[in-house]
Amino acid sequence: MPYLRFSRAKYPYACARCSEPIAKGRPYFRDEPHPFARLRGQAETRQLCLTCVLGEKTAREFLESLGDPRQLPLGFELTRNGFLKFPPRIELVDISPQILHLLSVEPERLWGATPAFLEDLICNRLDAMGYELKRVGSSTYQKDGGVDILAWHRAPLVPCLMAVQVKHTALRDRKIGPQPVRDLLGTVQTLGLNVGLIVTNTTFTPDALWVAEQRPLLVRLCDFDNLCRWLRNDFLQEHEWRDLPKQIELCPGVIIPIPR
């Protein structure tokens, strides 16, 4: 609303926002379009009640301060011709839900994501899963020891520290080979971490999958299809339990089946 004019109603109006009546003679605001728009007939003037513009509390204070029509509460001022001047305001709005919805509908946008954006997205999804996070390094290209993110569950019964490596590629046909998997596996074993996770916006070669399959409790791979599930808040499907045994023998003759 770039041109709000304070005035008194010459006729009865209904507020264009809340439809509340504005009685004749009562103060109100006119939402006037840009002068060029008015000349071209592209916009119409709207009448707005004080509550919709200023809020209920400030509207009451404004009505009490009409003895000084040049100064409104909270720093609002009127120009000489009656236009309302708003002080500059910066408002931060979290648009993560809108971004996640867009990506869930058009996941192919992940192929054009920047490395920093992809890393931020992984952090967002891990946070939604209940993990506390610690970013390693202050930028995507800073030395990080082969680990981009450290993650641990907020309320673990058994402490578990996970190392996350984000592998970004702008080429949808480029697959991640076995070397990054071996590197992360070595990092997990050297540092005494519990598990390593590699996430990519593409997929992995058969050799990379084979290396991960040899140590399934130490390294996990998350590809484009997994990311698509994460975007839908689908974090755990039945196949994620594939590495649990079907049954376990606690002692001779005592065999406990593991439900799937």
Q: Give φ, ψ of 247 to 5 degrees.
A: -155, 160
Q: Report how far residue 226's alpha carbon sits from residue 233's, in angstroms, rounded to the nearest whole number.
A: 11
Residue extents of the structural domains in the chain: 4-85, 96-251
Domain 4-85 sits in CATH at 3.30.1740
Q: Report how far residue 149's alpha carbon sits from residue 124's, in angstroms, rounded to the nearest whole number.
A: 12
Residue pLDDT tens, the chain, 260 long: 446 777 888 899 999 889 999 999 888 888 766 555 444 555 677 888 988 888 888 777 777 766 554 444 444 555 665 555 555 555 667 778 888 999 999 999 998 889 999 999 999 999 999 999 999 865 555 555 679 999 999 887 778 899 999 999 888 889 999 999 999 999 999 998 999 999 999 999 999 999 999 998 899 999 999 999 999 988 876 555 556 677 888 888 888 887 76
Structure token pair of residue 5 = 């004019």
What's the pLDDT at 55?
82
What's the pLDDT at 69?
46
Q: Output the 3-class SS for 194-251.
A: CEEEEEECCEECHHHHHHHHHCCCCEEEECHHHHHHHHCCCCCCHHHHCCCCCEEEEE
**175, 204 in Cβ contact below 8 A?**
yes
Residues 6 or more apart in contact with residue 14 via CB below 8 angstroms: 20, 21, 22, 47
- Check whether domain 96-251 has CATH 3.40.1350.10, yes or no: yes
